[in-house]
Amino acid sequence: MIKYNLTCECGKIFESWFSSSSEYDLLHKKKLIRCIYCESSVIKKSVMSPNISSKSNKINKKTKIEKNIKKQLLDFRKYIEKNCKYVGDNFSKEARNIHYDKKTSTGIYGKATPEETTELIEEGIEVATIPWVDKKEN
């Protein structure tokens, strides 16, 4: 069953139930739908539920923002991969080498446990943890 809001030429709006949209079309064509106020058969379907469209707009907007963030993280990842040296699990060791041997200026990236990261920060070594976005997933 479908409920339609119907608008009459007299300006009144009323609700009516139909088994399907084609049933409405058929009855409308045969002028069998009549206004409950003035009995006119000049009836129009009114636009239905604007709420649904505004709600889905919001969802689309949110997805867009999430996609943008993901894209930025991916770009950031590409930038790091291009400009920094990957040191894997040796990250905290390499980070210390760079920090204490001022001659090296290459950036590095790699894995560190939260404990190692805290230690590095406590030693005054600049460390940033970023969400590592998977390139394959879309």
Residue 130 found at the interface with Zn ion (CB under 5 A): no
The one-letter amino acid at 108: I
Structure tokens at 138: 């879309």
- Nearer to Zn ion (CB atom), residue 35 or residue 112: 35
Tracing tokens 């963030």 back to the chain, one arrives at 69
- Nearer to Zn ion (CB atom), residue 8 or residue 112: 8
Residue 10 found at the interface with Zn ion (CB under 5 A): yes
| CB-based contacts of 109, cutoff 8 Å, min separation 6 | 80, 81, 84, 85, 86, 87, 91
Q: Count residues contacting Zn ion (CB under 5 A)?
A: 7
Residue 38 found at the interface with Zn ion (CB under 5 A): yes
In angstroms, the Cα distances linking 64 to 59, 61, 71, 78 are 9, 5, 10, 21
Residue 69 found at the interface with Zn ion (CB under 5 A): no
Residue 8 found at the interface with Zn ion (CB under 5 A): yes
Q: Which of 6, 35, 95, 98 binds Zn ion (CB under 5 A)?
A: 35
- Report strand pairing: 13-18 vs 2-8: antiparallel
Q: Which of 13, 17, 32, 37 binds Zn ion (CB under 5 A)?
A: 37
Residue 36 found at the interface with Zn ion (CB under 5 A): no
Binding residues for Zn ion, rule: CB under 5 A, are: 8, 10, 12, 35, 37-38, 40
